[in-house]
Amino acid sequence: MESDIILRVNGREWPLRVDTRTTLLDALRERLGVTSPKKGCDHGQCGACTVLLDGRRINGCLVLAVACDGSEVVTAEGLGTDGELHPVQQAFVDHDGFQCGYCTPGQVCSAVGMLEEVAAGWPSAAGRPVADTPVLDDAEIRERMSGNLCRCGAYANIVTAVRAAKEVSR
Amino acid sequence: MSARMFGAPVQRTEDERLLTGRGAYLDDLGADAYAAVFVRSPHAHARVRDVDVTDALDVDGLIAVYTHEDLTGPMAEPLPLLLPHPCIVDGRTPHALAAGYVHHVGAPVAMVVARDRYLAEDAAERIAVDYEVLAPVVGIEAAVAAEHVVHAGMSDNVAAHLVQEVGDARAAIAAAPHRLELDLDIERSACTPMEGRGVYARWDEAGGSLRLYSSTQTASGVRAAVAAKLGLDVGRVEVVVPDVGGGFGVKIMHPWPEEVMVPWAARRLGHGVKWTEDRREHFIAAAHERGQRHTVRAGFDDEGRLLGLDVEILHDNGAYLPYGVIVPIVTSTQLLGPYKPGAYRVEFRSLYTTTVIVTPYRGAGRPQGVFAMERTMDAIADRLGRDRAEVREVNLIRPDEMPYDQGLLFQDGRPLVYDSGDYPRTLRMVKELIGWEGFAAERERARAEGRRIGIGLACYVEGTGPGPYEGGHVQVGTDGRVRVATGLTSQGQGHHTILAQIVADELGVAMSDVEVTTGDTRRMPYSVGTFASRGAVMSGSAVALAARKVREKALRVAADALEADPGDLEIAGGRVHVRGVPGAGMDLGTVAVLSNPLRYAFDEASRAATQFARPADHAAPPVPEGDAPGLEGTDFHSPLRSTFANGAHAVVVETDPETAEITILRYCVVHDCGRLVNPLIVEGQIHGGVAQGVAGALYERMAYDADGQLLNASFMDFLVPYASEIPPIRIAHLETPSPLNPLGVKGAGEAGVIPGAAVIASAIEDAEGFPVRSMPISPSDLFGLRRRFAAGEIPPLRRAERARGRRANETGEPDV
Q: What is the pLDDT of residues B172-189, one digit of tens each?
A: 999 999 999 999 999 999
- Which fold, B470-637? Aldehyde Oxidoreductase; domain 4 (3.30.365)
Q: What size, in residues, is chain A?
A: 170
Q: Which of B707, B792, B513, B726 is nearest to B45 (CA)?
A: B707
DSSP state of B135: -
Q: What is the pTM assigned to this prediction?
A: 0.96
- Cβ contacts below 8 Å, chain A against chain B, sum to 178
Asked whether the beta carbons of B45 and B102 are under 8 A apart, the reply is: yes
Q: Does A155 contact B at CB distance below 8 Å?
A: yes
Question: Nearest chain B Cα to A108, which residue?
Answer: B19
Reported as a single tens digit per residue, the pLDDT across B683-718 is 999 999 999 999 999 999 999 999 999 999 999 999
Reported as a single tens digit per residue, the pLDDT across B29-68 is 999 999 999 999 999 999 999 999 999 999 999 999 999 9
Task: Find the CB nearest B715 among A38, A45, A92.
Answer: A45
Domain with CATH 3.30.365.10 in chain B: 292-466+640-809, 470-637
Is the pLDDT higher at B762 or at B604? B762
In sequence order, which ranges of B449-583 are alpha helices (DSSP H)? Answer: 495-507, 541-562
CATH of B292-466+640-809, one of 1.10.3720.10, 3.30.300.20, 2.60.40.10, 3.30.365.10: 3.30.365.10
Contact B194 A142 (CB under 8 A): no
- Chain A residues with CB inside 8 Å of B663's CB? none
Confidence at residue B799, expressed as pLDDT on a 0 to 100 scale: 86
Asked whether the beta carbons of B309 and B298 are under 8 A apart, the reply is: yes
Asked whether the beta carbons of B323 and B191 are under 8 A apart, the reply is: no
Reported as a single tens digit per residue, the pLDDT across B706-751 is 999 999 999 999 999 999 999 999 999 999 999 999 999 999 999 9
Asked whether the beta carbons of B33 and B104 are under 8 A apart, the reply is: no
Q: Does A31 contact B at CB distance below 8 Å?
A: no
Q: What is B186-244 written as a DSSP string?
A: E--B----SS--EEEEEEETTTTEEEEEE--S-HHHHHHHHHHHHT--GGGEEEE--B-
Average predicted confidence (pLDDT) for chain B: 95
For the cut 60, the answer to whether the pLDDT of residue B813 exceeds it is no
Contact B195 A100 (CB under 8 A): yes
DSSP state of B93: -
For the cut 90, the answer to whether the pLDDT of residue B541 exceeds it is yes
Overall average pLDDT of the B193-204 stretch: 98
Q: What is B589-643 written as a DSSP string?
A: HHHHHHTS-BSS--SHHHHTTBTTSS---TTS-SS-TT--SSSEEEEEE--SS-E
For the cut 50, the answer to whether the pLDDT of residue B815 exceeds it is no
**Pick among A99, A140, A158 to test the B interface (most B CBs inside 10 A):** A99
Confidence at residue B397, expressed as pLDDT on a 0 to 100 scale: 98
Question: Nearest chain B Cα to A94, which residue?
Answer: B11
Reported as a single tens digit per residue, the pLDDT across A125-154 is 876 665 566 788 999 999 999 999 999 999
**Pick among B18, B60, B717 to test the A interface (most A CBs inside 10 A):** B18
Alpha carbon distance A31, A41 (integer Å): 19
CA distance A47 to chain B (A): 10
Q: Does A146 contact B at CB distance below 8 Å?
A: yes
Contact A46 B194 (CB under 8 A): yes
Confidence at residue A113, expressed as pLDDT on a 0 to 100 scale: 97
B816 confidence band (pLDDT: 50, 70, 90): very low
Contact A142 B723 (CB under 8 A): yes
SS3 content of chain A, % helix, strand, coil (to 5): 40, 20, 45
Confidence at residue A169, expressed as pLDDT on a 0 to 100 scale: 66
pLDDT over 70, % of chain B: 99
Ranges of chain A with pLDDT below 50: none
Task: Find the CB nearest B19 among A33, A35, A85.
Answer: A85
- 78-97 of A, contacting B, C-beta below 8 A: 79-80, 85, 89, 92-94, 96
**Hey, what amino acid is at A103?**
C
Burial class (CB in 10 A: 0-12, 13-18, 19+), B385: exposed
Domain with CATH 3.90.1170.50 in chain B: 32-134+191-285
- Residue B483, beta-bridge partner list: B475, B515
Task: Find the CB nearest A48 among B194, B492, B726.
Answer: B194
Q: For chain A, list the domains and their CATH numbers.
A: 2-77 (3.10.20.30), 87-169 (1.10.150.120)
CA–CA distances in Å: residue A56 to residues A42, A52, B298: 19, 5, 59
- Which fold, B32-134+191-285? Aldehyde Oxidoreductase; domain 3 (3.90.1170)
